[in-house]
Amino acid sequence: MSSKLLTLEVYLEPAQNQRLAALCGPFDDNLKQIERRLGVEISYHNNHFTVVGQAIQANSAIELLKSLYVETAAVKGKMPDLEPEAVHLAIQEAVALEAEDTSAMGDEVFLKTKRGVLKPRNPNQAQYIRNIIAHDICFGVGPAGTGKTYLAVAAAVDALERQEIRRILLTRPAVEAGEKLGFLPGDLSQKVDPYLRPLYDALFEMLGFERVERLIERNVIEVAPLAYMRGRTLNDAFIILDESQNTTVEQMKMFLTRIGFNSRAVITGDITQVDLPRGTRSGLRHAIEVLRDVDSISFNFFQSSDVVRHPVVARVVEAYESFERAEQAKKAQKERERRAEREALAAGQPLPVPPSAESNHE
């Protein structure tokens, strides 16, 4: 890549001090975040901004400044704050477009919710939304923070608003994350609510607390543990199975056979965070092997580069993946050494010296 630096300038119009202050953030924190993430230098005087950097990054930064400045516009006379989360997500989208040809996003896709129009932040999210719309069953598999569950709930809300379906059903297995919570007081709803809280949170954000409560009372939205799905046939519904890595093979098969006419199902999970008892096979892992070539079923596999939460989350995921690969390589090497020893004993030959022992001897 060329090391030649490009200098670009832009005037953000109309020039309004409050909007410019919101764009820059307290002590220019927003601009510093853009500089750090895109590898550019930004300077400004009033509404005149100058960006210095590599051609792709500098152009991305200019478009990012324009886009963020639009978001600072007053709505009904009220000047909105430019939250750090909005800045981070906008930068994430800019970084994704740098890494991928913009044509990889294909035709524009979006979802409509009460919060507004929700657009994908990277090509994988765009393909995920397309698959949800086009397939009866869609799997979203990948690390935390890639938007699997959030986009699935948004797609369900969008389908409900368009009257494509009559109800939304959200479910997940009631499995503790590595600890036993013991006896939980209250009725059935109170006992399972802690497990389903992430789904409630997404619904509240997209539809508002009061409307969600009304829809739940009318059974238009149903949130239930996976164990209560057996024996049901779900017609005219949008069904989301969250945390599916914690289903057993039998539970996954049971869930997939509940789907009725004019229904869609989205199954999300992270196969690196299985909380099932040792020796129990994950239903998600098994489904990926069994259903990969079945028509009307799609699979989306997200990577650490697709994480849209705080940047450190992507680095955490990458560190764990790197560590696990190293551990697997060590196990494979030890297995090869043991196999060589067994073959040497069977043939009556001297035992081979393991490579690790040779390096220690040197």
Within this chain, do residues 181 and 245 fall inside the same structural domain, yes or no?
yes
* Average pLDDT of the segment spanning 71-82: 70
* Residue type at 163 in one-letter notation: Q
Q: Are residues 190 and 270 in the same domain?
A: yes
Cα 159 from Cα 263, distance rounded (Å): 11
What's the farthest any 2 CA atoms get from each other in the chain?
A: 88
Q: Are strands 221-225 and 167-172 parallel, antiparallel or unpaired?
A: parallel
Contacts of 310 (CB under 8 A, 6+ apart): 88
229 versus 4: the higher-pLDDT residue is 229
Quote the pTM value: 0.61
Residue 339 shares a structural domain with residue 262: no
Q: Between 189 and 362, whose confidence is greater?
A: 189
Q: Is the pLDDT of residue 185 over 70?
A: no
How sure is the predictor about 103, in pLDDT bands with cuts at 50, 70 and 90? very low
Establish if 199 belongs to a structural domain: yes
Query: How many whole angstroms separate alpha carbon 126 and alpha carbon 105?
Result: 6
- Domain count across the chain: 3
Cβ neighbors of 136 (< 8 A, separation 6 or more) are 259, 263, 264, 265, 296, 297
Instruction: Judge if 213 and 125 occupy the same domain.
Output: yes
Q: Considering only 54-68, 196-210, 257-271, 305-319, which range has the smallest mean pLDDT?
A: 305-319
- Verify that 293 and 270 share a domain, yes or no: yes
Instruction: Please say whether the beta carbons of 168 and 222 come within 8 A.
Output: yes
Q: Given 57, 81, 99, which residue is the final one in a domain? A: 99
More confident residue, 186 or 208: 208
Comparing 10-14, 107-111, 160-164, 217-221, the range with the smallest average pLDDT is 107-111
Average pLDDT over residues 197-209: 84
Residue 1 within a domain? no
pLDDT for the residue 357:
56
Same domain, 135 and 218: yes
Q: Which of these three, 264, 284, 308, is where a domain ends?
A: 308
Is residue 114 included in any domain, yes or no? yes
Asked whether residue 253 falls in the same domain as residue 184, the answer is: yes
Range of the domain at 293: 105-308
Residue 196 belongs to some domain of the structure: yes
Neighbours of 352 (CB within 10 A): 13
User: Among 79, 99, 119, where does a domain finish?
Assistant: 99
pLDDT band at 282 (very low <50, low <70, confident <90, very high): very high
Range of lowest pLDDT (67-76, 173-182, 193-202, 207-216) = 173-182
Asked if 184 contacts 205 with a C-beta cutoff of 8 angstroms, the reply is no
What does the mean pLDDT of the chain come to? 81
Instruction: Identify the DSSP state of 351.
Output: P
Residue 21 and residue 113 in one domain: no
Shared domain for 121 and 93, answered yes or no, is no
Residue 292 domain-assigned (yes or no): yes
Give the CATH number of the domain where residue 13 resides: 3.30.1370.10
pLDDT of residue 179: 46
Give the span between the Cα atoms of 19 and 26, in whole angstroms.
12
Q: Which residue has the higher pLDDT, 201 or 12?
A: 12
177 and 34, same domain (yes or no): no
- What is the pLDDT at residue 288? 93
- pLDDT per position as a tens digit, 114-165: 667 777 878 888 899 999 988 889 999 988 888 898 899 999 998 888 888 8
Same domain, residue pair 262 and 340 = no
How high is the pLDDT of residue 318? 74
What is the rounded average pLDDT of the residues 69-97? Answer: 73
Q: Which range, 139-153, 190-204, 346-360, is most confident?
A: 139-153
Per the structure block, which two tokens stand in for 49? 């901004």
- Report the pLDDT value the prediction gives residue 102, as an integer from 0 to 100: 40
330 occurs within a structural domain: yes
Positive/negative CA dihedral, 351, 355, 357, 358 = positive
Q: What is the CATH number of the domain that holds 263?
A: 3.40.50.300
Report if residue 120 sits inside a domain: yes
Same domain for 348 and 323, yes or no, is yes
Least confident of 91-105, 110-124, 125-139, 227-241: 91-105
Compute the average pLDDT of residues 96-119: 61
What are the counts of helices (DSSP H) followed by strands (DSSP E) for the chain?
12, 11
The percentage of residues in the chain with a pLDDT greater than 70, rounded to a whole number, is 81
Q: What is the mean pLDDT of residues 177-196?
A: 57
What's the pLDDT band for 177 if we cut at 50, 70, 90?
very low
HSE value, Cβ hemisphere, 13 Å, CA-based, for 131: 24
pLDDT of residue 105: 46
Higher pLDDT, 221 or 114: 221
What per-residue confidence (pLDDT) applies to 303? Answer: 84
pLDDT tens per residue, range 295-328: 889 999 998 777 766 667 667 767 877 887 888 8
Does residue 240 belong to any structural domain of this protein? yes
